[in-house]
């Protein structure tokens, strides 16, 4: 796929997972505040604040330690429980969920919203003074059990489509796969230095603006310099993040469909899309394919 086409697709899809962190930047509170104050000062996190108010001790705006907070409106509760049950039906889903339930520092909030209905996003990141991630929010679209994103950036979620149309899986498997994808973002961001993340968030719009006005010339010295500072151009940064999300989605599906007859067909479809669009990132997917139990393993090579 040509670089310009990929860049345009990146701009088109950016709302799926990228915009939430961008919007977060301006609302971010000073790091000199203690964690409790930072949460209470966050005017953009109204829903999270309501959740904190319900779960924290009286007088505190946020819990002193980490944990998992589910902030789900009544109208979405039933479908959310179904998606969650699907996610927790796997060993990996349970393990990751428990990790955040008992996390010593990180407050992971999960909510469902009506905008970006078929999508999902992760953002509202906060770090403490020691550089550790202490807050993140996953927003699931209210119809996350529908809609298959492009195979270019979402080779795992996209691969499910024919299996749903043949009624081999239900929409809740798709929604649970989206949850796994978002968990992949949280896991990855926890190992990303705050300064690098903020630098990328600030410079990506600058890069895009120049790119769109210089005749799509990626060799422009200004863009070369910006990419060097950020650790890659926006498409490369985007791909790397999304493919980490997809790798975690694949980990979930590895367990979820392990005993299904179509297991190897699904993995074959993922492999085909990875080879077509994500060749530079194949290793992370191949590792997961190889980690299958011997009984159910299907060949990746
Ligand atoms: Zn994503």
Show the 3-state SS of 260-273: CCCHHHHHHHHHHH
* pLDDT band at 55; cut points 50, 70, 90: very low
Query: If you measure from the C-alpha of residue 76 to the centroid of ligand 1, how many angstroms do you get, rounded to a whole number?
Result: 21
| 20: phi then psi, degrees, rounded to nearest 5 | -55, -50
What stretch of H or E contains 296? Answer: none
- pLDDT reported for residue 300: 78
Q: What residues pack around ion ligand 1 (CB closer than 5 A)? A: 17, 242, 245
pLDDT at 267: 93
CA–centroid distance, residue 70 to ligand 1 (Å):
19
Question: Across residues 281-297, what is the average pLDDT?
Answer: 82
The tens digit of pLDDT for each residue in 139-191 reads 999 999 999 999 999 999 999 999 988 889 999 999 999 999 999 999 999 99
Question: Which tens digit of pLDDT belongs to each residue from 24-45?
Answer: 322 332 222 233 222 322 333 3
| Beta strand pairing call for 120-127 and 107-113 | unpaired
User: DSSP 3-state assignment of 255?
Assistant: helix
Q: Distance, CA 22 to ligand 1 centroid (Å)?
A: 13
Q: Where is average pLDDT lowest: 54-58, 114-118, 155-159, 168-172? A: 54-58
Mean pLDDT is lowest, of 54-68, 79-93, 185-199, for 54-68
**Owner of token pair 């979405």:** 76
Confidence band (pLDDT; 50, 70, 90) for 202?
very high
């Amino acid at each position: 796929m040509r670089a310009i086409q990929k860049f345009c697709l990146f701009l088109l899809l950016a709302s799926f997972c990228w915009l939430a962190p961008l919007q977060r930047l301006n609302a971010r509170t000073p790091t000199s505040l203690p964690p409790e104050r930072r949460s209470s000062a966050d005017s953009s996190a109204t829903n999270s604040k309501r959740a904190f108010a319900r779960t924290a001790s009286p007088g505190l705006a946020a819990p002193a330690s980490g944990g998992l907070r589910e902030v789900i409106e009544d109208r979405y509760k039933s479908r959310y429980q179904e998606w969650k049950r699907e996610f927790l039906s796997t060993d990996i889903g349970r393990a990751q969920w428990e990790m955040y339930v008992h996390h010593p520092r990180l407050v992971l909030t999960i909510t469902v919203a009506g905008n970006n209905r078929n999508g999902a996003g992760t953002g509202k990141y906060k770090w403490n003074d020691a550089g550790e991630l202490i807050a993140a929010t996953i927003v699931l679209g209210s119809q996350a059990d529908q809609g298959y994103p492009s195979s270019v950036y979402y080779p795992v979620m996209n691969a499910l489509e024919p299996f749903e149309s043949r009624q081999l899986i239900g929409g809740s498997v798709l929604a649970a796969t989206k949850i796994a994808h978002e968990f992949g973002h949280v896991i990855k961001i926890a190992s990303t230095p705050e300064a690098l993340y903020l630098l990328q968030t600030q410079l990506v719009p600058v890069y895009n603006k120049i790119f769109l006005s210089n005749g799509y010339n990626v060799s422009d010295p200004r863009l070369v310099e910006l990419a060097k500072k950020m650790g890659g151009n926006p498409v490369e940064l985007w791909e790397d993040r999304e493919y980490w999300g997809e790798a975690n989605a694949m980990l979930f599906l590895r367990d979820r469909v392990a005993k299904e007859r179509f297991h190897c067909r699904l993995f074959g479809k993922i492999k085909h899309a990875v080879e077509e669009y994500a060749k530079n990132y194949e290793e992370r997917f191949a590792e997961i394919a190889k980690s299958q139990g011997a009984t159910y393993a299907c060949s990746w090579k």
